């Protein structure tokens, strides 16, 4: 039986017939209801699109650079490079370096092959038959060795992961390049299949004399095929995912040398909050006893065939204050061969900072291992954000979620009375803009754990694709809505077309997501059965209609131009009174890159690296206001 590369989820009924795709869901016999869940793969990669916009000049210069000839050993486990391959090792940028799509990798970070090109869009020649898609090509390597040098290339590969299974007409291919005949030669090929999603080792000897020369190269490439959706043309999606990890080319090896003698992190750090990925700072301060889980969970693996000893270290830095606020050791422990450890360190710390409205903390964990270990995969970092919104998602979409005709509602909990000011939504771009339909924003109160009375309705909205680094679109409510305790945000639509709202596979909060179905002519709220998190966020703030919130709002700071290239201007209302205030600028990793003890309007940023920066103004250590800007070249 052939399944579409987009899947439809129905509410549970007695006739369960199959279990498919990334997560467990039910397909029913009988009549379809108009509000069934729809899960759609991505038709673009927004991370690549935005990376290209902010790094276009750097990418262009690197692509023009003359490839250097590398020497053995050649190694890459994609734990150090981000988004694109390391240009010191690879000559192209077709694959996507990420931690989001693999399942149980050898080390944190993989190279993902799919049907999306390096611009973040589906390949122009993508079709439903078979087309050549991503490449990963090494720089020239000096292999001027005799055959007796026992040179082997090893790697681990995984089909599907958390994404789409390659089909039998799809494949992953390895080729070797010979400078002697200036030709690429096919060495290894794996057709698509739907078997268990595990990383499998391969080790291939390099013995032919035409390869044992200076200038040898190797490359991986994949063949993919699209599947269309005639019922919903906007749901043509990315497909046929392969993931590669732990590539090693070296001499003095043997066919059994596939076990890395390495201990490595295998998952990224996640939010330390019990419920949310991010939440408003003032709500957290009122609920920290509930929201602080009291632990930092980490996952690391011993890939070796020997017992290893590992020491776990932890550090928390207040990014805005640029100071280490807590550090401690998790101690040392042995780890058995091939064992994966989920270590949950005790955390006797609650976030605290001087800022009244927002905060940013860097959570860092690193392993102390043997000297011969690869060190790039021994550190993980996470940024814990507190701003003016609630979020369950991690900001990265692996798919899109939607319904047919009906309503969808998402549950949140306001720990203090507040005003709902706006709703942020992340829309995946659909093929041919297939999800450009009108919808009505809605807000409900709670009714015993499900949406109750309607509090607010705002019709006439349509999906918008953001082309900035903040990919969420903010829909400002015409009227601020008072919320306290459980409340719901969502939408109603009248067309059987998925809105394709971002869906995060790496966080799970579908127990708070509901949609409507009609059973025996009665509307019912059905809890989502798809494991994951919808990328929709309520934005809260000071009420304009009640004095329940005595705390004053921070000063509004304007930074322009944004994005900036050579300089930024800082505008603050009544700024003549701020002559003695301190301006600090931090990069996304929390490093202080600029500070001034006096207020100044214009600051040169031409020497800054491209990326996101935070401007923070303080008065004797007290937070006055903050803003964010992007620097480009």
Architecture of domain 269-387 in this structure: Sandwich (2.60)
Other C-beta atoms lying within 10 Å of the C-beta of residue 192: 22
Domain 66-250, what fold?
A: Jelly Rolls (2.60.120)
Kindly tell me if the per-residue pLDDT of 428 is higher than 90.
no
How far, in Å, are 117, 126, 151, 172, 194 from residue 122 at the CA level?
6, 7, 37, 18, 23
pLDDT score at 18: 29
Domain residue spans in the chain?
7-43+391-541, 66-250, 269-387, 558-631
Q: Are 72 and 249 in contact (CB under 8 A)?
A: yes
In this prediction, residues 593-612 reach a mean pLDDT of 84
Both tokens of residue 623?
A: 């937070």
Note whether 551 and 568 are within 8 A (CB): no
Token digits for 581?
């205030």
Q: What is the pLDDT of residue 41?
A: 79
User: Closest Cα partner for 202 from 216, 185, 190, 218?
Assistant: 190
- Looking at per-residue pLDDT, the higher value among 571 and 539 belongs to 539
Is the model more confident about 466 or about 177?
A: 177
Is the pLDDT reported for residue 586 higher than 90? Answer: no
Q: Dump strand ranges (E) for 536-610.
A: 536-541, 558-560, 567-571, 582-587, 592-596, 602-604
The yes/no answer on whether domain 558-631 falls in CATH 3.40.190.10 is: no
- Indicate if 558-631 has the same CATH topology as 269-387: yes
Q: In this predicted structure, what is the pLDDT of residue 67?
A: 61
pLDDT at 303 over 90: yes
Question: Is pLDDT larger for residue 614 or for residue 535?
Answer: 535
Residue 260 has pLDDT above 70, yes or no: yes
CATH class of 7-43+391-541: mainly beta
For the question of whether the overall pTM of this predicted structure is more than 0.85, the answer is no
Q: Cα separation of 129 and 223, whole Å? A: 10
Backbone φ and ψ of 313, nearest 5°: -120, 150
Rounded to the nearest integer, the mean pLDDT of the chain is 84
pLDDT, tens digit (0-9, with 9 covering 90-100), for 362-415? 999 999 999 999 999 999 999 999 999 999 999 888 889 999 889 999 999 999
pLDDT tens-digit map of 138-166: 999 999 999 999 999 999 999 999 888 89
């Amino acid at each position: 039986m052939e399944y579409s590369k987009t899947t439809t989820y129905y509410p549970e009924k007695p006739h369960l017939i199959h279990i498919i795709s990334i997560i467990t869901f039910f397909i029913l016999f009988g009549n379809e209801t108009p509000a069934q869940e729809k899960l759609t793969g991505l038709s673009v990669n927004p991370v690549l699109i935005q990376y290209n916009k902010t790094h276009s000049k750097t990418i262009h210069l690197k692509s023009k650079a003359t490839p250097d000839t590398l020497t053995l050993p050649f190694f890459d486990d994609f734990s150090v490079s981000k988004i694109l391959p390391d240009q010191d090792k690879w000559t192209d940028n077709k694959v996507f370096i990420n931690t989001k799509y693999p399942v149980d990798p050898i080390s944190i970070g993989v190279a993902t092959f799919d049907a999306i090109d390096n611009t973040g869009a589906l390949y122009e020649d993508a079709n439903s038959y078979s087309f050549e898609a991503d490449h990963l090509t090494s720089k020239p390597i000096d292999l001027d060795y005799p055959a007796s040098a026992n040179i082997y290339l090893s790697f681990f590969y995984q089909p599907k992961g958390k994404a789409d299974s390659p089909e039998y007409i799809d494949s992953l291919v390895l080729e070797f390049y010979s400078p002697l005949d200036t030709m690429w030669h096919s060495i290894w090929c794996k057709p698509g299949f739907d078997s268990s999603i595990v990383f499998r080792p391969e080790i291939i000897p390099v013995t032919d004399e035409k390869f044992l020369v200076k200038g040898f190269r190797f490359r991986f490439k994949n063949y993919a095929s699209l599947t269309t959706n005639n019922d919903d043309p906007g749901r043509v999606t990315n497909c046929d995912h392969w993931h590669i990890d732990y590539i090693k080319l070296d001499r003095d090896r043997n066919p059994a040398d596939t076990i890395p003698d390495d201990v490595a992190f295998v998952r990224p750090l996640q939010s330390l909050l019990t419920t949310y990925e991010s939440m408003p700072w003032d709500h957290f301060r009122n609920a920290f006893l509930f929201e602080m889980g009291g632990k930092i969970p980490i996952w690391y693996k011993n890939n070796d065939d020997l017992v290893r000893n590992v020491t776990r270290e932890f550090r928390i830095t207040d990014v805005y204050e640029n100071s280490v606020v807590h550090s401690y050791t998790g101690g040392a422990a042995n780890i058995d061969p091939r064992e994966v450890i989920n270590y949950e360190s005790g955390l006797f710390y609650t976030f605290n900072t001087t800022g009244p409205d927002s905060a940013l903390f860097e959570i860092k964990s690193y392993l102390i291992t043997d000297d011969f270990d690869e060190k790039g995969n021994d550190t993980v970092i996470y940024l814990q954000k507190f701003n003016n919104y609630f979020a369950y998602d991690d900001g990265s979409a692996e798919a899109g979620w939607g319904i047919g005709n009906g309503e969808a509602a998402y549950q949140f909990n306001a720990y203090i009375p507040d005003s709902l000011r706006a709703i942020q939504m992340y829309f995946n771009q659909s093929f041919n803009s297939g999800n450009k339909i009108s919808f009505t924003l809605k807000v409900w109160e709670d009714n015993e754990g499900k949406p109750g009375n309607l509090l607010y309705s705002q019709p006439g909205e349509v999906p918008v694709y953001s082309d900035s680094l903040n990919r969420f679109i903010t829909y400002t409510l015409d009227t601020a809505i008072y919320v306290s305790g459980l409340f719901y945000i969502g939408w109603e639509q009248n067309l059987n077309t998925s809105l394709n709202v971002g869906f995060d596979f790496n966080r799970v909060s579908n127990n708070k997501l509901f949609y409507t179905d009609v059973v025996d002519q009665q509307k019912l709220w059905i809890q989502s059965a798809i494991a994951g998190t919808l990328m929709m966020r309520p934005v809260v703030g000071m009420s304009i209609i009640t004095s329940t919130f005595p705390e004053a709002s921070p000063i509004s700071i304007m930074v322009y131009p944004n994005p900036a290239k050579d300089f930024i201007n800082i505008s603050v209302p009544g700024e003549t009174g701020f002559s003695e205030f301190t301006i600090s600028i931090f990069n996304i990793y929390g490093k202080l890159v600029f500070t001034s003890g006096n207020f100044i309007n214009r600051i040169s940023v031409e020497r800054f690296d491209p990326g996101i920066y935070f401007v923070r103004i303080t008065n004797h250590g007290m937070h006055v206001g903050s803003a964010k800007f992007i620097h480009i070249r």
